[in-house]
Chains A and B, each alone.
Chain A
Amino acid sequence: MKSLLKISGMTHRFGGLAAVSNLNIELPQGAIYGLIGPNGSGKTTTFNLITGIYRPSEGSIRLDGREIAGMKPYRIVRLGIARTFQNLRIFENLSVLDNIRIALNGSAHSGIIPSVLRTPSFKREEKAIRDKAYELLKGMKLEYRADQMAKNLPYGEQRRLEIARAIATEPKLLLLDEPAAGMNPKEVEELMALIIDARKAFGLTILLIEHHMKFVMGICENITVLNFGETIACGRPEEVASDARVLEAYLGRRGAQC
């Protein structure tokens, strides 16, 4: 299958410390791919590199064959990569509807003058954006919250709002940073169903970071495991789960002295 994202030989150093070193990941179109590893292993740094928050010290990141390393974040978004954050970053003091409409700005083409004059074409576009936003909210079962301030939503709904907002940018590739964090088992199950639905409905390829093993094992087709910035294993979930180095990274060396 055609690969959508290809990371090759990517290294990122903070001073002398290699937070990510020589990372290689190839994501086929339509995949759900997991990135796991203990705390501080470089998972979120990898996301920050893919989305342009950091520029990799070495290596390349290609989306659809196009080099994106070093581009500004908003340009990378417009090329089709969206993400969510480990610690939510919704627009707290704006309405749920506005959270989505902001992410739909890429499809707003009215210039400043037509906007200020509120021309008919501007109004048509505003209506189209609003309808689209409602449609996306419906998909995440949030349309009944549209007028509420985002910060007043319960945690699980804020997570879903952030995913809806990411999808609103019409990504090809969606990066989810610990989407199940802080959710109860029922919410986790709903989220899994929602992600699988969204992949189908929006033709997404998904790369996700998650500590929730049941979630990762249940949803991902392939996994890369990082430890101290190094790739220690990659493959299918069941292969990875029984890999000696992975067990060591998570649980420590057998017979270690206490």
Chain B
Amino acid sequence: MSMAHKPRFLIAALVFYAAVEGFSRIGLLNGYFMVIINESLIYVILAVSLNLINGITGQFSLGHMGFAAVGAYTSGAITTIAFRLSPDRPLDYSIFVLSLVAGGLLAALVGFLIGFPSLRLKGDYLGIVTLGFGEIIRTALNNMDFVGGPRGLLGIPKFSSFTLIFAAALISVIIIRNLVESSHGRAMLAVRENELAAELVGIDTTKYKVLAFSTGAFFAGIAGGLLAHLLQMAHPSQFGFMGSVLILIMVYAGGIGSLSGSILAAFVLTFLSQGLLLGIDALANATGLSIGSEWRMVIYSVLLILLMLFKTEGLMGTREFRLLRIPEEEK
């Protein structure tokens, strides 16, 4: 009978969860810190799912936040309506989970449709089409009055807790990891490596490009839903081009094609961004100089440039954490 491998990644993740939850309960981690952790975990989902499209399948997508927007608005609208219909009822988590899945599925449908231009376009050209798509979503939301238009969708109930976000991130990572470590994942890698050769060893390249886009979009939609229920709002400006670029930076900074890299970079860059904010404030207070917080992005960018200069292949290259790998000997 076959032996399952030790779920080392699951164990490590649960230790992380227990530590954060424990420290937060005894007051070692304040609310501010928990917001950053939650945001990092949401970015883990976004970066890993974009890596499936860009890193594993080799399609250049620049509109990932567009998928997140679809998920955020869909699930946000569902729970808001449910909440308005019966404001006295306690928060019902099953509605939340259903709304997340609905948001993910709608995003996947959009990803499926976006997948089709990718069949004809490659590289930069595909990037421009996906960029345009992201802007279309943002502009459309800006003009849809029933979801708040330019004011955004407000009053979304606060469903996203650390526990739920953590669970969603863990499940997303494991699903995408398992997908990559299967015949389907190998087919996606083949598309990235050499599309013609993939086709000529019997891979239906069309199917796998569309699969990558719709799967990536599904998880981006889930992440969007989590974000909306964390911030209790969804606003078109959150889902613009710069948001998509930030996710793309995480994928590259972590190592294109490395899921571990995306996880690492999501944490590092989210913490870096907040850390610089605090650091600059502290420096300004200590020295009495008026250092504006706009310097944050300057330093952040310089650090990114240095990273890409000295570690071109990203933090992890194409390697994976040993924890995340499924050993070849596993029967």
In the bound complex, do residue A91 and residue B179 qualify as a contact, i.e. CB atoms below 8 Å apart? no
Q: Which residue of A lies closest to B182 (CB)?
A: A115
Check if A102 is an interface residue, CB within 8 A of chain B.
yes
Q: Answer whether residue B285 sits at the interface, using C-beta atoms and an 8 A cutoff.
A: no
Any B CB within 8 A of the CB of A192: no
Across the interface, name the chain A residue whose C-beta is closest to B204: A74
B183 adjacent to A110 (CB under 8 Å): yes
**Alpha-carbon gap, A78 to B2, bound state (A):** 31
CB-CB nearest in chain B for A104: B183
Of the candidate stretches A4-12, A60-68, A118-126, A240-248, the one touching chain B is: A118-126
State how many angstroms separate the Cβ of A166 from the closest Cβ of chain B: 7
- Digitize B164-198: 1 where CB-to-A-CB distance is under 8 Å, 0 elsewhere: 00000000000100110011101101100110111
Interface presence of B202 (CB below 8 A): yes
Chain B interface mostly helix, strand, loop or mixed? helix
Evaluate contact between B187 and A102: CB separation under 8 angstroms.
yes
- How many Å from the CB of B120 to the closest CB on chain A? 15
User: Contact: A102 with B189, CB < 8 Å?
Assistant: yes
User: In the complex the two chains form, is B186's CB within 8 Å of A77's CB?
Assistant: no
| B199 CB contacts on chain A under 8 angstroms | 72-74, 77
- Is B2 a contact partner of A123 (Cβ separation < 8 A)? yes
Interface string of A79-115 (1 = CB under 8 A from B): 0001101000111111000100111011010101001
Which one, B175, B193, B202, B318, contacts A105 given CB within 8 A?
A: B202
Question: Quick one: given A102-B190, A116-B179, are A74 and B318 in contact (CB under 8 Å)?
Answer: no
Among B193, B197, B202, B205, the one with the most A-chain Cβ atoms within 10 Å of its Cβ is B202
B331 x A105 contact (CB < 8 A): no
Inter-chain CA distance A94–B201, complex, in Å, is: 15
Residue of B nearest to A122 (CB): B182
Partner of B197, one of A78, A89, A118: A89
A162 nearest CB neighbor, chain B only? B197
Closest chain B CB from A63 CB (angstroms): 15
* Contacting residues, chain B, for A127 (C-beta < 8 A): 2, 331
With an 8 A cutoff between CB atoms, is A19 at the interface? no
Q: B200 to chain A: which residues have CB within 8 Å?
A: 51, 53, 73-74, 77, 82-83, 89
* B324 interface contact, C-beta 8 A: no
Residues of A with C-beta under 8 A to B201: 77, 82, 102-103, 105, 165-166, 168-169
B179 touches A115 (CB 8 A): yes
Whole-angstrom CA separation of A147 from B203 in the bound complex: 22
A46 to chain B, nearest CB (A): 15
Report B202-233 residues with CB < 8 Å from chain A CB.
202-205, 211
Give the distance in Å from the alpha carbon of A73 to the alpha carbon of B182 in the complex: 23
User: Do residues B193 and A106 form an inter-chain contact, with CB atoms below 8 A?
Assistant: no
Q: Is A120 in contact with B178, judged by CB distance below 8 angstroms?
A: no
In the bound complex, residues from chain A placing their C-beta under 8 Å from that of B184 are: 112, 115
Q: A89-B196, A94-B189, A116-B175 are in contact. Are A106 and B202 (CB under 8 A)?
A: yes
Cβ B182 vs Cβ A126 within 8 A: yes
Tell me the bound Cα distance from A93 to B199 in angstroms. Answer: 17
| Nearest A-chain residue to B1, judged by Cβ | A120
Known: A91-B190, A101-B186, A129-B183. A77 touches B178 (CB 8 A): no
CB-defined A-B contacts under 8 Å, sample of 30: A72-B199, A73-B196, A74-B199, A74-B202, A77-B201, A77-B202, A82-B201, A89-B197, A90-B194, A90-B197, A91-B193, A91-B194, A91-B198, A93-B193, A94-B189, A103-B201, A105-B183, A105-B186, A105-B187, A112-B184, A112-B211, A115-B179, A115-B183, A115-B184, A117-B178, A123-B331, A124-B2, A127-B331, A165-B201, A169-B202
Besides A89-B196, A98-B186, A101-B186, 12 other CB < 8 A contacts?
A72-B199, A78-B202, A102-B190, A102-B198, A105-B201, A105-B202, A112-B211, A116-B179, A127-B2, A147-B328, A165-B201, A168-B201
The 10 closest A-B CB pairs, nearest first, are A108-B183, A115-B182, A77-B202, A89-B197, A91-B193, A103-B201, A73-B199, A102-B190, A116-B178, A106-B202
